[in-house]
Structure 1
Amino acid sequence: MILWEALGSVVIGLAVSCAALRWLPARFGQFRSRPLALATGPAAALFGALLAHSVLGPGHTAAALAVSLGVAVALVSLLLRQGEKARRSAPA
């Protein structure tokens, strides 16, 4: 059963990465590196699923996959670079 959780979490992470690369740059900015974003999603989701599995124990597949989704979304969102807006500091 652990194998299915791992595979499911990697698929979830890849879906999060692909969705973020497809829809987010037009609204919020751009990603620093496309390959980095594609690698971060599955790695973060796998880490989240393994963390949830170790805390909850076996038999909580849905909860482990939900945690993997949350961790993947959180870490992929950290890769966004804000748009080029002119920021002015206060006059001295």
Structure 2
Amino acid sequence: MFLEALGAAVLGLALSWAASHRLPHRLPARSLVLSTGVAGGLFGAFLTHTALGSGYYPVILCGAAIVSAALLSLLLRPAERFRRRSATA
């Protein structure tokens, strides 16, 4: 169980680090992004472990990555180039 939590935290940290380097202009402060990635990884591992039980380490890490990516996507702001102004403004 300790290795599942450690692996999920490292996976969430890696996903959030990659997102913060790839999209720095669309994300808030880096500390918020990194902590959200780790928390999402841990929560995803907890959910998957609760649903499946122990013994499914790769599946648990996959669940951790999915939940971490979903939480990181909630932090994204729209890009400036896609904002349209109304014709009446």
Q: How does the TM-score come out when normalised to structure 2?
A: 0.89
Matching residue within 39, 48, 55 for 2:35: 39
Matching of residue 15 in structure 1 with residue 11 in structure 2: no
Aligned to 1:75: 71
CA deviation string 1:19-54 (max 9, x = no partner) = 0011123xxx42122111010001000000010000
Matching residue within 81, 85, 88 for 1:88: 85
Counterparts of 2:21 and 2:62, CA distance in 1: 22
Q: Which runs of 5+ in 2 are unaligned?
A: none
Q: How does the TM-score come out when normalised to structure 1?
A: 0.86
RMSD: 1.6
Count residues in correspondence: 88
Could you list the structure 1 runs, at least 4 aligned residues long, displaced by more than 3 angstroms after superposition.
Answer: none
Q: Which runs of 5+ in 1 are unaligned?
A: none
